[in-house]
Amino acid sequence: MRSSHPRLPPGHERIRVSVYRMAAMTASVLNNFADLALSLPSPSLETTIKQNPTVVDSTGYDGRTALQKAVMVGNLPVVRLLLQYGADPNLRAKSGETAVHIACCRGLLNVVVTLLKHGGDPMVVDGAGRVAIHCAAIAGSMVLVQYLAEVCEVNLEAEENRGCSPLHIAAACGHLGLVQYLVQSKKVNRTKLDNEGNTVLHSAVTGGVSGVCWTIVYPGAEQLLTTPNTAGLTPAQGAHASTSMLVICLFVFWVYKRTKLKPLVEDRIL
């Protein structure tokens, strides 16, 4: 049975097939914009957003937007392009984190500054109760923490869901320079307890950097050496699983009591 549609000349048939294929590719890009955006050349990405502005905040298979994915890999040109066309820096992924959280956790100062200039909020809370300053403490970026503290004037005593402050986090991660900045320059509270009664020194012992322990304890917070948590464990006792952690506490205590000389602050106990 003959088709009711007239047969097109060969050249026209190829054009029709090409048009169908292009339409299918365009539909695929639009349906998977968040996942494909980073693979598109900048001119194609910009054209796609101009023609279909609603896709800019669509989410991919993992629940993240194209902006969040661009921030994850530190692609600042794509971040700027997406923000230029209205991408929302405060949208939350499934975990509750925004593009600002992601940038801070990676210590990407330029990306953070760009996001905040386009309306990013450093006080949005993620699923773990963290705001931007907690994420910056995880990264150990002193310049980023300085920017948030001194330019954005965020609260350096903010607590996340576990009751941990940025100092708790920096100490647990062994970020000596950041701990020194928070304790010595910003005078943050060294005696703050988390929800399990752990002091900052408990966290520092976990981090395993002797200089961090020293900075927290000396001067003026020597009582932390013998302060138990809710489980009744002092920092030294809480480190019973690792002899090297116990050595840190004993070393700090001995140096303070006997010589009052600072330890080798860069030594990391493995």
Instruction: Give me the domains of the chain, ranges plus CATH numbers.
Output: 32-155 (1.25.40.20)
CA distance 82 to 45: 9
Residues 125-158 have pLDDT tens digits of 999 999 999 999 999 999 999 999 999 999 999 9
The pLDDT of residue 130 is: 96
CA dist 109 → 2, 18, 144, 148, 178 (Å): 67, 45, 6, 10, 15
Percentage with pLDDT > 70 across the chain:
76
Residues 75-118 have pLDDT tens digits of 999 999 999 999 999 999 988 999 999 999 999 999 999 999 99
Where residue 123 falls among pLDDT bands split at 50, 70, 90? very high
Q: Is the CA virtual torsion 72, 57, 97, 28 positive or negative?
A: negative
Residues 209-249 have pLDDT tens digits of 878 888 998 888 888 888 999 989 888 776 654 445 554 55
3-state SS assignment for residue 113: helix
CA dist 124 → 22, 98, 134, 203, 223 (Å): 40, 8, 11, 25, 35
Q: pTM for the whole thing?
A: 0.79
CA distance 54 to 43: 18
Q: Which of 76, 261, 85, 37 is nearest to 99 (CA)?
A: 76
CA distance 265 to 208: 11
pLDDT at 74 over 50: yes
CA distance 55 to 49: 7
Cβ atoms 193, 199 nearer than 8 A: yes
The pLDDT of residue 80 is: 97
Q: Identify which has the larger pLDDT, 187 or 24.
A: 187
The pLDDT of residue 11 is: 53
pLDDT at 267 over 60: no
87 HSE (CA, 13 A, CB side): 34
Instruction: List all residues 6 or more positions away from 225 whose beta carbon is below 8 Å from its beta carbon.
Output: 201, 217, 234, 235, 236, 249, 252, 253
**What is the pLDDT of the chain when averaged over all its residues?**
82
